[in-house]
Structure 1
Amino acid sequence: MKNRILAGAIALVSSVALGGCGFIPGSGSGDRTVTVWLMKDSVSPGFLDKFTRSYEEENPSIELDFKIQEWSGIGPKVLSALEGDAPDVIEVGNTQVAQYAESGGLRDLTLESMRDLGSEDWLPGLAQPGSINGVQYGIPWYAANRVVIYNKEIFEEAGVDSVPKTRDEWIAATEKLNRAGNQGIYLAGQNWYVLAGFIWDEGGELADDNGGDWRGALDTPEALAGMEFYQELQALGDGPTDADEEKPPQTDVFAKGDVAQIISTPGSAALIEQKNPELKGKLGYFPIPGKSSKAPGSVFTGGSDLIVPKKADERTAGIAVVKALASEKWQTELARGMSYVPNKPSLAHVIEGDEGTAAMAEGATRGRATPNSPQWARVEAENPIKPYMTAVLEGGDPAREAKAASERITALLAGSG
């Protein structure tokens, strides 16, 4: 599954990012070639060149060959590669690991992750989906998640002097902001990733794993409480009930200047400012508030893990490259250069001074991934969560609608329907 959340996170660098499905060769002097598939726009040419030069200087027998892949159609392409002519390292979306692990084509990286990579300190939203039945197949590389982007001028005019730290404070502030021709918040009715965070805060799940028997869980009291909060917040603006954040693009709506808040990745600010240069310097960021001030709200973590195929020609050398990319040195370079969240909370200090990324890193400590089922892609392809949200926002009975959506999720996770 493509992690669409990253689209906003890379907005600032996409104009100079790697293009096409070509390759970037190394110096050509190595005795062995390590082939690495990276996804388009994940890193800048500058980062990749710096890493390649440094790594090949330290490992003169190795030549790095980076091949850039498109997100579209990547699932079948990776599965095909795992069966035969596999590269040595592949970057995959964090929520894709379960699907690839089910194929039996991934190398067990548990030993390396425990011994050399400090796995006890990884962001849970990257580490958990990389681990299947206690085996670590995916090594966390980088993350991105949603924050609240707000219009400082509208906050000041409404007398909201500080950003909210709790849900209650958030509702109170948004009610004050929702006046005099302004929307307190623009929240589309089908922004299900945001709903997921509210459900997790309540102790609920999108789906539960009962020994491999996955069942939809939107109809639990906890999940219903998360939907109730979503409904309360969404009503404090004019977001559509029957569309997601891309229809229309919420950045376009925010750029009109009469919206106080949206929930998006910090990179969306660049798109907003391109649409409306008058908003430059007026945008701020804060983590999605939690139920108490002790911690921010839960968020969906998008990002990438690194995997090593069993059939890779250079498995050992590939693992060494993974270790380097996941190391503190190159995590720091990547986070600063790309405005990503590094793979460990202990490295959050490296992006201090970048207000948006710092807010994102704070929220990432409460990051989660979607249910770790190899069939979850089927759920997202049909996505019964979206019409469920619309039905509730348009007056449907929450319990009834949640039960129907949960039954459909159960069928999709079972591979039927």
Structure 2
Amino acid sequence: MKNRYLALSSVLACSLALGGCGLIPGGSDTRTVSIWLMQNSVSDDWLKRFTETFEKEHPGIELDVTFQEWTGIGKKVTEALKSEDAPEVIEVGNTQVAGYAESGGLRDLTLESVRDLGNEDWLPGLAEPGSINGSQYGIPWYAANRVVIYNKELFAEAGITEPPKTRAEWLEISEKLDRPGQDGIYLSGQDWYTLAGFIWDEGGELAVESAGDWQGSLHSKAALRGMDFYQELQSHGSGPKDGDEETPPQAEVFAKGNVAQMIAVPSAATVIEKANPELKGKLGFFPVPGKTAAAPGSVFIGGSDLIVPENSKERAAAVEVVSALAGDEWQLDLARTMNYVPNKATLGLELEGQESTYAMAAGAAQGRATPNSPQWAEVEGDNPIKPYMTAVLQGREPATAARNASDRITAALRP
């Protein structure tokens, strides 16, 4: 669906184009930049503000925004990259960039990222997936990651006055909060994104690359330590060992009022409060604790990058649009409007007044992405990490279960 100003009538036209092309007396030299954004990535009001401002500052460029659904987007983008009528700018998931770059259809934006966009300050979890063989094809746009959502009332009843800063403190309070009829923490057995953070904190990886070949590495000593911590934390609640966060939906479980903590993106709080309005104002947020108080723990960071197809017609104007979207002014505006994490850790410090977003931004500074293999989607399609976690939680010998899962990851990552 095309949205020209969305609710109003989307995006306006103007005068003077980039590169010195100005208005022709008696005529027009307007160029249209076609943009694909994902459904619900931005609000109508935010897009309206951005469009009006950008077109005023860049006379001669008209923005034409189309919203896409996530379902089926991979095939649609791949086909667009091969066509002669590709959009100028496309929003893609940060972990999807490697797959699109493999097709050879993306513009190399390394120069712009170094010269104009302050790439040295980008969140690694957004920047690294967009960098392929030293070239930057994806420009970080926004991020979201898991935090700990907690019930302030249950914390107060247990005499806990402030959130934990270390893993050891986290285990201690989770055990204290775990009592008959109440979960210290609700953690499903197959929450593999959360496990990934614990593995990274221990110095492990989900998979490693050597000479162009990817190998699963859940069986490494570091990765096994991460699973060991997960198992201990998960024991302080009644989360199902054979289910993920949606089986059953953990926000709905939390909404019953007898769960002290859960690990989720902050937007889950909206679901909780809708299901149980009595919890409104009783929810708090803190970053996933690290091994020491020096920094929060590692977390999987999801979000979006912006790409420019090599065969788009208005590539120079497209770079101007990407530069604006990824620049500090609009990054902060987007973060405050949509409760996203901006693409730079330094910008996250400016969100201190927003408790949930600030906690998320603090964690994002330690954010990581899944292995940067074009085949990683094959791993997630039939995810061997989930049954591995269940096997360990149900008593199977961890090293053996991990080796089997690693072998399946290796097979899935073969080109």
Please state which band the TM-score falls in when normalised by the shorter chain. Answer: over 0.9
Which residue in 2 is equivalent to 1:8?
none
Runs of 4+ aligned structure 1 residues displaced above 3 Å come to: none
Shift of 1:29: 4.2
In structure 2, how many angstroms separate the alpha carbons of the residues matched to 1:216 and 1:180?
Answer: 39
In structure 1, how many angstroms separate the alpha carbons of the residues matched to 2:382 and 2:268?
Answer: 26
Which residue in 2 is equivalent to 1:313?
313
Which residue in 2 is equivalent to 1:80?
79
Q: Which secondary structure state, in structure 1, belongs to the residue aligned with residue 222 of structure 2?
A: helix
Q: Which secondary structure state, in structure 2, belongs to the residue aligned with residue 42 of structure 1?
A: coil
For 1:80, give the aligned amino acid: E
Determine if contact 2:13/2:60 at 8 Å carries over to the other structure. Answer: no
1:255 correspondence with 2:255: yes
Q: Which secondary structure state, in structure 2, belongs to the residue aligned with residue 100 of structure 1?
A: helix
Q: Which secondary structure state, in structure 2, belongs to the residue aligned with residue 414 of structure 1?
A: coil
In structure 2, how many angstroms separate the alpha carbons of the residues matched to 1:167 and 1:132?
Answer: 34
Deviations 1:283-316 (A, max 9, x none): 0000000101111000000000000000000011
Which residue in 1 is equivalent to 2:213?
213
For 2:318, give the aligned amino acid: G
Spell out the pairing of 1:49-198 with structure 2 (5 A cutoff).
49-84=48-83, 85-198=85-198
For 2:374, give the aligned amino acid: P
For 1:41, give the aligned amino acid: N
Determine if contact 1:207/1:218 at 8 Å carries over to the other structure. Answer: yes
For 2:340, give the aligned amino acid: Y
In structure 2, how many angstroms separate the alpha carbons of the residues matched to 1:346 and 1:144?
Answer: 16
Counterpart pick for 1:26 among 4, 8, 11: 11
Question: Where in structure 1 are there 5+ consecutive unaligned residues?
Answer: 1-20
Deviations 1:38-84 (A, max 9, x none): 00010000010000001111111000000100000000100000001
Moved more, 178-187 or 361-370: 178-187
Q: Which secondary structure state, in structure 1, belongs to the residue aligned with residue 111 of structure 2?
A: helix
Which residue in 1 is equivalent to 2:43?
44
Moved more, 86-95 or 159-168: 159-168
Which residue in 2 is equivalent to 1:233?
233
For 2:51, give the aligned amino acid: T
In structure 2, how many angstroms separate the alpha carbons of the residues matched to 1:113 and 1:27?
Answer: 28
For 1:26, give the aligned amino acid: V
In structure 2, how many angstroms separate the alpha carbons of the residues matched to 1:279 and 1:69?
Answer: 34
TM-score norm. by structure 2 comes to 0.94
Shift of 1:22: 2.7
In structure 2, how many angstroms separate the alpha carbons of the residues matched to 1:352 and 1:295?
Answer: 16
In structure 2, how many angstroms separate the alpha carbons of the residues matched to 1:56 and 1:194?
Answer: 41
Deviations 1:239-277 (A, max 9, x none): 001110001100000000000000001111111000000
Which residue in 2 is equivalent to 1:371?
371
In structure 2, how many angstroms separate the alpha carbons of the residues matched to 1:133 and 1:407?
Answer: 25
For 2:61, give the aligned amino acid: I
Shift of 1:350: 3.0
- The total of aligned residue pairs comes to 395
Deviations 1:299-337 (A, max 9, x none): 000000000000000011001100000111101110110
Q: Which secondary structure state, in structure 2, belongs to the residue aligned with residue 241 of structure 1?
A: coil
Spell out the pairing of 1:294-305 with structure 2 (5 A cutoff).
294-305=294-305
In structure 2, how many angstroms separate the alpha carbons of the residues matched to 1:387 and 1:348?
Answer: 36
Shift of 1:211: 2.2
Deviations 1:194-233 (A, max 9, x none): 0000000000000001121000000000000000000000
In structure 1, how many angstroms separate the alpha carbons of the residues matched to 2:165 and 2:57?
Answer: 46
For 2:11, give the aligned amino acid: G
> Which has the higher Rg, Structure 1 or Structure 2?
2
Shift of 1:26: 1.6
Spell out the pairing of 1:327-342 with structure 2 (5 A cutoff).
327-342=327-342
Which residue in 2 is equivalent to 1:16?
none
For 2:12, give the aligned amino acid: S
Question: Where in structure 2 are there 5+ consecutive unaligned residues?
Answer: 5-9, 16-29
TM-score norm. by structure 1 comes to 0.94
Shift of 1:159: 1.4
Q: Which secondary structure state, in structure 1, belongs to the residue aligned with residue 324 of structure 2?
A: helix
Deviations 1:328-360 (A, max 9, x none): 110111011001010001111332211000000
Determine if contact 2:14/2:56 at 8 Å carries over to the other structure. Answer: no
| Sequence identity (%) | 65
In structure 2, how many angstroms separate the alpha carbons of the residues matched to 1:349 and 1:276?
Answer: 31
Determine if contact 1:144/1:265 at 8 Å carries over to the other structure. Answer: yes
Deviations 1:74-107 (A, max 9, x none): 0010000000121000000000000000000000
Which residue in 2 is equivalent to 1:9?
none
In structure 1, how many angstroms separate the alpha carbons of the residues matched to 2:3 and 2:410?
Answer: 41
In structure 2, how many angstroms separate the alpha carbons of the residues matched to 1:349 and 1:293?
Answer: 18
Determine if contact 1:126/1:140 at 8 Å carries over to the other structure. Answer: yes
Which residue in 2 is equivalent to 1:345?
345
Q: Which secondary structure state, in structure 2, belongs to the residue aligned with residue 232 of structure 1?
A: helix
Q: Which secondary structure state, in structure 1, belongs to the residue aligned with residue 337 of structure 2?
A: helix
Spell out the pairing of 1:383-398 with structure 2 (5 A cutoff).
383-398=383-398
Which residue in 2 is equivalent to 1:35?
34
For 2:327, give the aligned amino acid: S
Which residue in 2 is equivalent to 1:201?
201
In structure 2, how many angstroms separate the alpha carbons of the residues matched to 1:59 and 1:281?
Answer: 43
CA-atom RMSD, angstroms? 0.8
Which residue in 1 is equivalent to 2:7?
none
Q: Which secondary structure state, in structure 2, belongs to the residue aligned with residue 143 of structure 1?
A: strand
